[in-house]
């Protein structure tokens, strides 16, 4: 009997991108592409592109000051996730279950499911928006792509999908070129980054929370921690993991800054309100001219498909592993009902919501990122509790200054969400 | 039936009915088939945990506990090495369920009076345990029943055994010795599901030959990860037991220094086989072949060959074809297992061998090697050097694996599901 005929349940860590650190030749160079960088890249998905574009178009440079703050947040969170993965050798879902028990795990997983479900919807909205630029109606594009993603992962390999779309996402570099071509007053950009302006305008608050939610996304650190744990990187390699996490955070946020700057220069004040992807694509006109729509659509499509593939998988694996349910895409439905059910449902729901007639795609994307921003503090509290538990982390718990910063930022995001909810409510009740 | 989740958080009263605190954890002493509860950890006012020995406990059930005494010695609890705290050390942790080849979690812990003591009898790994802890037992189980889902799933404690692991959370469903009786593919399957640093712990339970079989079942990436987790000496011992082609494939993925280190630790004969194979291009006959094959001499008789086989005790893969070489090592014929058995015992090999065997050169492209195997319908194809000397064989499964690409292992089980059933 051929020995390869065997069950092929693979863990989340093996399924998801896991670039081995090869030690010779070209591979040594490519090995730099660690999980932190991939987490960062995957973070610039439909939600990121849409949110940063709207942020730039609506508020110009005036909210640029939150970018350094979100960078620091992302950096801190990714570093903690990488450190926890390295020291404990376990994923975040595993640790939550081990340490907090069934009830808290259930709560955390419901939060994760809502947050990731929203992102799944956002990415299908991104797919629909990108293809609408080519006049392909979403009723055709979305079900087709959804079925394609489902089938590719189940019948082929996730890695194939990942390689292809990760490379497509590289066209987002056009924003960097574009920002320089557009030639803003860089001094002004610099000043805007360090001069906070506060306002209680609900629409601005919403953009702020959405920007935080899209930059620091729970699934990124679930994914990163699993990858690090899977590589078997130990505490002795913490230096590498830290560098990788910092690189990922700085990379993705630099890109975010360029998107905001370019859309601010080209769209802010022009009276254009971003309602469709085509509006957002105009931002690329200085660098791509008549090809700007093509370029934008390609970037948005690639990033959206990549995230739309990663998120249902990450979510299903995390949930099933923390509850001890059978998981793996090669399992039959009857063998892993919860896993296959969740995986399928996340794709089907993501696609179905986008098909609701008349739904504004950009609006849907923004709301999903906003929801992530609101749910983020919950996951952060779990993380901070775990990373400070010496039973898990030994001597690698957070330093005091790091705790002060991390808890401070968590408090800040919570406060922002509460103020936003309050002001929206007040607005809705007609108090002002 | 009593579950840990029904006890924890319940009030503890003293002999006179006065509130004392709440049950926080139970302590059991390992070693017996069903470990007895030896004490209770109480959370008293002020958030302090104190330990009460089992002899002070008069009664304990889902409504709470009552103590014999009204005053207890408030000594701080020190865990002995053979004791575990159920809530802290066992609940919510992972268990490798070897029988069903998957990793499950301890959702609850079942206790029962056995021989007059309350004992740990089973771990609850089913949906029922999760529902009980969420406080949804009633409606949840009705829903599960309506959907036809089996909510109850227990593993008897006598089937659970701790496995060596950096992560103290991991337990193994069967005793270590039982691992050795599983099919290597099943052990590999379990290994793949574990976090990397737990994998080496599983391997520690196996002898080198067994471990080598498990290695051969793993995907390339997992092989490297696992090898890196072992000491170089153990890694070298396992590599020696692997087929030279498998060992060479694995080592090709390692760094040059690591290769040299391991080759230096291996037996010289095995090391030189692997070294030779490493030198050939991966996409050639040389890269595909193994040096595990059996040659016989022209003048040997059928009976002598059979006696030799008995002595060599070869793997199934290598017994179907035997290769005939002359004094220079040049390949001159093949004999099949059938030919060998039907030949009269005293016949020399030269009389019943098939002359002019099909063979390929070392540098032939892997794809053409596969084509040749398919065309001639062979189980194995000999590989020769420029002088016609035999160097190795390419087996049909290795050629197939190359032809179908890496993904085939993943897809095939879908097609051949019944084969995979245990």
Shortest CA gap A225–chain B (Å): 12
| Number of residues that this document lists for chain B | 422
* Residue B81 and residue B207 in one domain: no
Chain B CB within 8 Å of residue A11 CB: yes
Shortest CA gap B268–chain A (Å): 26
Chain A CB within 8 Å of residue B315 CB: no
Chain A CB within 8 Å of residue B197 CB: yes
Shortest CA gap B182–chain A (Å): 13
Residue A392 with chain B: CB contacts under 8 Å: none
Residue that has been written with the tokens 């015992």 in this structure: B345
Residue in A2, A94, A102 closest to B107 by CB:
A102
For residue B103, give the CATH number of its domain.
2.30.30.240
End of a domain among B174, B190, B215? Answer: B174
Residue in B91, B92, B419 closest to A1 by CB:
B419
Q: Which residue has the higher pLDDT, B78 or B390?
A: B390
CB atoms within 10 A of CB A28: 12
* Domain assignment of residue B158, yes or no: yes
**How many Cα atoms within 13 Å fall on the side-chain side of residue B31?**
9
* Domain assignment of residue B421, yes or no: no
pLDDT single digits (tens) B43-60: 887 778 888 888 888 888
Number of domains in chain B: 3
Please check whether residue A413 is in contact with residue A420, taking contact to mean a CB–CB distance below 8 angstroms.
no
pLDDT of residue A28: 34
Question: Strands B321-325, B295-297: parallel, antiparallel or unpaired by DSSP?
Answer: parallel
pLDDT of residue A161: 63
Domain boundaries, chain A: 12-429
Q: Can you tell me the distance from the alpha carbon of A108 to that of A110, in angstroms, rounded to the nearest whole number?
A: 5
Query: Is pLDDT of B180 > 90?
Result: no
pTM for this predicted structure: 0.71
pLDDT of residue B421: 32
pLDDT single digits (tens) B204-225: 767 888 888 888 888 777 788 7
Out of A321-335, B93-107, B348-362, which region has the weakest mean confidence (pLDDT)? B93-107
Chain B CB within 8 Å of residue A23 CB: yes
* Residue B170 and residue B209 in one domain: no
Q: Can you tell me the distance from the alpha carbon of A45 to that of A58, in angstroms, rounded to the nearest whole number?
A: 20
Out of A92-96, A378-382, B401-405, which region has the weakest mean confidence (pLDDT)? B401-405
Cα separation of the two ends of chain B: 32
Question: Strands B11-13, B94-97: parallel, antiparallel or unpaired by DSSP?
Answer: unpaired
Q: Can you tell me the distance from the alpha carbon of A352 to that of B368, in angstroms, rounded to the nearest whole number?
A: 48
pLDDT of residue A325: 83
* Residue B168 and residue B186 in one domain: no
Over residues A320-335, mean pLDDT: 77
Query: What CATH class has A12-429?
Result: mainly alpha
Residue B90 with chain A: CB contacts under 8 Å: none
**DSSP string computed for A113-181:** HHHHHHHHHHHHHHHHHHHHTTT--HHHHHHHHHHHHHHHHHHS-HHHHHHHHHHHGGGGGHHHHHHHH
Helices and strands (H and E) in chain B: how many: 20, 22
Q: Can you tell me the distance from the alpha carbon of A302 to that of A315, in angstroms, rounded to the nearest whole number?
A: 20
Whether ipTM > 0.85 holds is no
CB atoms within 10 A of CB B19: 12
Which candidate in B25, B102, B154, B250 is best for mutational testing of the A interface (most A CBs within 10 A)? B102
pLDDT of residue B64: 83
Which SS3 state, helix, strand or coil, does residue B108 take?
strand
Residue in B149, B192, B197 closest to A89 by CB:
B197
Which SS3 state, helix, strand or coil, does residue B192 take?
helix
User: What are the φ/ψ torsions at residue B293 (nearest 5 degrees)?
Assistant: -160, 170
β-bridge partners, B108: B124
Residue A231 with chain B: CB contacts under 8 Å: 196, 225
Residue A90 with chain B: CB contacts under 8 Å: 167, 195
* Domain assignment of residue B414, yes or no: no
* Residue B226 and residue B302 in one domain: no
* Residue B110 and residue B9 in one domain: yes
Task: Return the structure tokens found at B44.
Answer: 């008293």
Over residues A111-133, mean pLDDT: 92
Over residues A248-261, mean pLDDT: 89
For residue B194, give the CATH number of its domain.
1.25.60.10
Over residues A195-205, mean pLDDT: 82
Over residues A71-80, mean pLDDT: 92
* Domain assignment of residue B420, yes or no: no
Helices and strands (H and E) in chain A: how many: 20, 0
Chain A CB within 8 Å of residue B264 CB: no
* Domain assignment of residue B378, yes or no: yes
Q: Determine whether the interchain pair A230/B101 forms a contact, defined as Cβ–Cβ distance below 8 Å.
A: no
Highest-scoring range by mean pLDDT, A112-116, A276-280, A319-323, B372-376: A112-116
* Residue B30 and residue B164 in one domain: yes
Task: Return the structure tokens found at A84.
Answer: 């926890």
pLDDT of residue A165: 63
pLDDT band at A246 (very low <50, low <70, confident <90, very high): confident
Please check whether residue A232 is in contact with residue A39, taking contact to mean a CB–CB distance below 8 angstroms.
no
Highest-scoring range by mean pLDDT, A209-223, B63-77, B269-283: A209-223
Residue that has been written with the tokens 């791509």 in this structure: A288
Q: By C-alpha distance, which of A80, A37, A67 is closest to A207? A: A67
Share of chain A above pLDDT 70, in %: 87
Q: Can you tell me the distance from the alpha carbon of B237 to that of B256, in angstroms, rounded to the nearest whole number?
A: 19
Residue in B94, B185, B225 closest to A6 by CB:
B185
Residue of B nearest to A2 (CA): B397
Over residues B169-176, mean pLDDT: 48
Domain of B46?
1-174
* Residue B392 and residue B246 in one domain: no
* Residue B146 and residue B253 in one domain: no
pLDDT band at A8 (very low <50, low <70, confident <90, very high): very low
Q: Determine whether the interchain pair B408/A4 forms a contact, defined as Cβ–Cβ distance below 8 Å.
A: yes
Over residues A167-183, mean pLDDT: 79
Among positive and negative, which fits the CA dihedral A171, A73, A79, B192? negative
pLDDT of residue B178: 59
Share of chain B above pLDDT 90, in %: 1
* Residue B4 and residue B148 in one domain: yes
Q: Can you tell me the distance from the alpha carbon of B151 to that of B130, in angstroms, rounded to the nearest whole number?
A: 9
Cβ-Cβ contacts under 8 Å between A and B: the total is 118
Please check whether residue B81 is in contact with residue B64, taking contact to mean a CB–CB distance below 8 angstroms.
no
Task: Return the structure tokens found at B149.
Answer: 């889902």
DSSP label at residue B84: E
C-alpha distances (whole Å) from B166 to each of B139, B195, B198 are: 39, 10, 7
pLDDT band at A120 (very low <50, low <70, confident <90, very high): very high
* Domain assignment of residue B74, yes or no: yes
pLDDT of residue A163: 66
Which SS3 state, helix, strand or coil, does residue A281 take?
helix
Shortest CA gap B267–chain A (Å): 26
| Number of residues that this document lists for chain A | 432
DSSP label at residue B174: S
pLDDT band at B415 (very low <50, low <70, confident <90, very high): very low
Over residues B113-127, mean pLDDT: 85
* Residue B135 and residue B270 in one domain: no
Please check whether residue B46 is in contact with residue B98, taking contact to mean a CB–CB distance below 8 angstroms.
no
């Amino acid at each position: 009997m051929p020995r390869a005929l065997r069950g092929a349940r693979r863990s989340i860590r093996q399924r998801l991108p896991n670039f081995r650190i090869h030690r010779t030749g070209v591979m040594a160079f490519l090995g730099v592409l660690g999980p932190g960088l991939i987490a960062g890249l995957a973070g610039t998905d439909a939600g990121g592109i849409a949110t940063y574009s709207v942020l730039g178009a609506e508020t110009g440079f005036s909210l640029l000051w939150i970018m350094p703050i979100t960078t620091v947040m992302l950096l801190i969170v990714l570093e903690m996730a990488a450190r926890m993965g390295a020291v404990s050798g376990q994923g975040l879902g595993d640790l939550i279950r081990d340490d907090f028990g069934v009830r808290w795990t259930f709560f955390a997983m419901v939060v994760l499911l809502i947050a990731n479900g929203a992102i799944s919807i956002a990415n299908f909205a991104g797919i629909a928006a990108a293809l609408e630029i080519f006049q392909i109606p979403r009723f055709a594009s979305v079900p087709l792509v959804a079925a394609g993603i489902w089938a590719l992962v189940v019948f082929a390999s996730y890695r194939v999908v990942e390689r292809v779309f990760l490379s497509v996402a590289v066209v987002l570099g056009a924003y960097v070129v574009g920002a320089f071509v557009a030639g803003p007053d860089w001094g002004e950009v610099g000043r805007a980054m360090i001069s906070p302006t506060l306002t209680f305008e609900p629409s601005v608050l919403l953009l702020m929370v959405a920007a935080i939610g899209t930059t620091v996304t729970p699934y990124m650190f679930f994914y990163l921690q699993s990858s690090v744990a899977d590589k078997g990187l130990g505490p002795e390699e913490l230096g590498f993991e830290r560098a990788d996490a910092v690189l990922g955070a700085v990379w993705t946020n630099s890109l975010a800054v360029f998107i905001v700057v370019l859309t601010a220069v080209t769209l802010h004040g022009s009276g254009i309100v971003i309602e469709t992807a085509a509006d957002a694509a105009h931002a690329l006109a200085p660098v791509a001219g008549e090809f700007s729509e093509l370029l934008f659509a390609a970037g948005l499509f690639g990033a959206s498909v990549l995230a739309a593939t990663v998120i249902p998988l990450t979510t299903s694996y995390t949930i099933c592993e923390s509850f001890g349910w059978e998981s793996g895409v090669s399992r039959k439905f009857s063998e892993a009902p919860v896993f296959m059910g969740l995986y399928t449902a996340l794709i089907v729901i993501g696609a179905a919501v986008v098909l609701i007639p008349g739904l504004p795609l950009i609006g849907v994307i923004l709301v999903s990122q906003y929801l992530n921003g609101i749910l983020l503090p919950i996951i952060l509290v779990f993380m901070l509790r775990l990373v400070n538990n010496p039973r898990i982390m030994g001597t690698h718990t957070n330093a005091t200054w790091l705790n002060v910063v991390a808890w401070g930022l968590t408090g800040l995001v919570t406060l922002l969400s509460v103020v936003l909810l309050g002001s929206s409510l007040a607005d809705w009740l007609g108090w002002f | 039936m009593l579950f840990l989740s029904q006890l924890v958080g319940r009030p503890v009263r003293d002999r006179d009915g006065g509130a004392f605190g709440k049950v926080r954890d139970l302590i059991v002493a390992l070693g017996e088939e069903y470990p007895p509860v030896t004490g209770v950890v109480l959370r008293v006012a002020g958030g302090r945990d104190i330990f009460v020995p089992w002899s002070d406990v008069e009664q304990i059930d889902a409504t709470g506990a009552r103590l014999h005494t009204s005053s207890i010695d408030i000594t701080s609890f020190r865990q002995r090495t053979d004791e575990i705290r159920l809530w802290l050390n066992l609940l919510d942790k992972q268990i490798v369920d070897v029988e069903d080849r998957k990793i499950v979690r301890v959702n609850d812990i079942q206790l029962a009076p056995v021989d007059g003591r309350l004992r740990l009898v089973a771990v609850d790994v089913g949906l029922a345990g999760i529902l009980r802890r969420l406080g949804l037992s009633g409606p949840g189980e009705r829903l599960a029943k309506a959907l036809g889902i089996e909510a109850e799933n227990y593993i008897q404690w006598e089937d659970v055994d701790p496995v060596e692991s950096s992560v103290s959370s991991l337990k193994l469903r069967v005793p270590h010795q039982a691992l050795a009786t599983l099919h290597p593919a099943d052990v590999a399957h379990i290994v793949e599901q574990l976090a990397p640093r737990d994998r080496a712990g599983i391997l520690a339970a196996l002898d080198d030959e067994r471990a080598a079989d498990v290695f051969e079942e793993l995907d390339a990436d997992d092989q490297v990860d696992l090898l890196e987790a072992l000491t170089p000496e153990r890694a070298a011992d396992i590599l020696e037991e692997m087929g030279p082609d498998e060992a060479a494939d694995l080592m090709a993925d390692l760094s040059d220094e690591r290769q040299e280190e391991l080759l230096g630790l291996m037996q010289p004969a095995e090391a030189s086989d692997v070294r030779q194979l490493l030198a050939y291009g991966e996409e050639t006959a040389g890269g595909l072949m193994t040096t595990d094959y059996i040659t016989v001499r022209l003048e040997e008789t059928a009976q002598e060959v059979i006696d030799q086989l008995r002595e060599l005790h070869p793997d199934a893969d290598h017994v179907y074809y035997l290769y005939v070489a002359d004094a220079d090592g040049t390949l001159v014929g093949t004999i099949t297992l059938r030919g060998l058995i039907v030949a009269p015992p005293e016949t020399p090999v030269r009389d019943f061998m098939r002359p002019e065997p099909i063979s390929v050169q070392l540098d032939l492209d892997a794809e053409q090697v596969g084509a040749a195997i398919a065309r001639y319908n062979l189980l194995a194809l000999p590989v020769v050097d420029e002088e016609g000397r035999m160097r190795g064989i390419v087996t049909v499964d290795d050629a197939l694996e190359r032809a179908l690409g890496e993904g085939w292992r993943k897809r095939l089980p879908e097609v051949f599901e019944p084969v995979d059933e245990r």
